[in-house]
Amino acid sequence: MSYKIAIGSSNGIDVDLKFGEVRKFLVYEVDGEAKLVEERIVIEDDNTEAPAAGCADKSGCSGQGSGCAGHGNGCGGPKDVISRVALIEDCRCVVCKKIGFQAQKQFEKKAISVFDVECTIKEALEKISFYYNKIDKHESFRKV
Higher pLDDT pick, 45 / 134: 134
Angle at 141 between CA 140 and CA 143, to 5 degrees: 100
pLDDT band at 1; cut points 50, 70, 90: confident
Residues near 74 by beta carbon (within 8 Å), at least 6 away in sequence = 20, 66, 67, 68, 80, 81, 100, 102
- Displacement of CA 142 from its chain's centroid (Å): 28
Structural domains of the chain in order of their starting residue, each with its CATH number: 3-136 (3.30.420.130)
DSSP line for 21-55: G-SEEEEEEEESEEEEEEEEEPPPPTTSPPPPTT-
**pLDDT of the residue at 76:** 57
Question: In the 8-state DSSP scheme, what is residue 12?
Answer: S
Q: What is the pLDDT of residues 83-116, one digit of tens each?
A: 999 999 999 999 999 999 999 999 999 999 999 9
